[in-house]
Amino acid sequence: MSAPMENQIRNLRLAFENGKITRDLYAKNLLRLLELSEHPTAQKVAAAFIVGRIDQALLVRNLGNLRPPSPPAPDPLDLPPPP
């Protein structure tokens, strides 16, 4: 996850925790930032959060589990030699 995205997620979390945005706005923006807006299971998890069936910690954990794994780092042996 890139640093700007982490900052946006942190700012979004702080805004929600300080009561500046609603559950609905928090969930929808978190889905967008995590690139899960079109994921059907992520939408169901967000809907459960919005109506209060799950808390923020469970929302974040479940969405984190739905994210595709980041591509593995290239094997140093496969990289071309330095110039």
Domain spans of the chain, in order of start: 3-66
How far is residue 73's CA from residue 54's CA, in Å, rounded to a whole number? 35
* Residue indicated by tokens 């984190």: 64
More confident of the two residues 67 and 11 = 11
Distance of CA 10 to the CA centre of its chain: 10
pLDDT tens profile 26-64:
999 999 999 999 999 999 999 999 999 999 999 999 999
C-beta atoms surrounding 16 within 10 Å = 18
**C-alpha to C-alpha distance for 83 and 67, rounded to whole angstroms:** 37
Give the mean pLDDT of 51-79. Answer: 83
- Tally DSSP H helices, then E strands, for the chain: 4, 0
pLDDT of residue 44: 97
The pLDDT value given to residue 4: 83
